[in-house]
Chain A
């Protein structure tokens, strides 16, 4: 690479990197999404996740069948998820708690942002056709996670930003994985 090319790329990079307001906005979006999952992992209550009283997570999961949004998804919920609901409940609790944990501290943020977008999509496919639900809330959740993925939000006031230089210098396999995930 010539010196002139390197200078051009450097100038382009500087133009693309966010200013102070941009950095804090990106960090705020990540933290708010982390708090969203943190709060919502609070009502996924084991051991039956609302199955015996047809409330809580169980009730919301049945919406996917009662108010079908996408037939193949409703089929999977009816045939696979509901018959194995307790296992599904534990998976939801663990995934949502991990989303809250990692987005809040900004560790492996890009990976967890994609997981969050996938989880928000699953929730949208369950409830957007349910009367009284505001469908844009779920589209905004998906968009928010894609935005923090694109912005690599953990690099701003998050642990990714603190730890990436050390991961780059090191030669551990986990460090390399975290570098990719951040």
Chain B
């Protein structure tokens, strides 16, 4: 396995762990609670929908990395970019579908940039 695919695996596992942790801390919240629950009080917060989307996107990246399917990893990176846009448009407002805050913006941006850079470099685009 190449070092780039190993890195894709590590990044997607980190995202998966965060999503599962988000689901655990948000288990008592309503599905689309605007104020999410913090993960270990260090930053990102989730309601159940936010955690579920995180898990699905991470699983997509993990599957892409394991099967060597660039398209899946890139789709996951695109999904994380959409989460970053969701935070920018809804954080601090009464409607917040995923229960996110500024720390989720940092985390989602890191996942999008990281997975995107890995796939695009592997494809020879960077």
Which of A35, A41, A162, A167 is close to B105, meaning CB atoms less than 8 Å apart?
A: A41
Contact across chains for A46 and B91 when beta carbons are under 8 A apart: yes
Interface: A102 (CB within 8 A):
yes
Contact A159/B7 with A35-B43, A38-B43, A172-B126 known, Cβ cut-off 8 Å: yes
Contact with A along B76-114 (1 / 0, CB 8 A): 000000000000000111000000011101110111011
List residues of A whose CB falls within 8 A of some B CB.
Answer: 34-35, 37-39, 41-47, 93, 96-102, 104-105, 107, 159, 162-163, 166-167, 170, 172, 174-175, 178
Stretch in contact with the other chain, from B22-30, B48-56, B57-65, B117-125: B117-125
Contact across chains for B125 and A172 when beta carbons are under 8 A apart: yes
Contact across chains for A43 and B102 when beta carbons are under 8 A apart: yes
Interface centre among B42, B43, B106, B126 (most CB of A within 10 A): B106
Contact A163/B106 with A38-B43, A42-B43 known, Cβ cut-off 8 Å: no
Interface: B11 (CB within 8 A):
yes
Which of A39, A101, A174 is close to B126, meaning CB atoms less than 8 Å apart?
A: A174
A41 to B91, CA, bound (A): 11
Contact across chains for B113 and A107 when beta carbons are under 8 A apart: yes
Chain A residues within an 8 Å CB radius of B124: 166, 170
List residues of B whose CB falls within 8 A of some A CB.
Answer: 3-4, 6-7, 11, 42-45, 91-93, 101-103, 105-107, 109-111, 113-114, 117-118, 121-122, 124-126
Top 9 nearest A-B pairs by Cβ distance?
A100-B106, A101-B110, A41-B102, A42-B103, A101-B109, A97-B106, A105-B114, A97-B105, A38-B106
* Chain A residue at smallest Cβ distance from B109: A101
Chain B residues within an 8 Å CB radius of A162: 3-4, 6-7, 118
Contact across chains for B11 and A41 when beta carbons are under 8 A apart: no
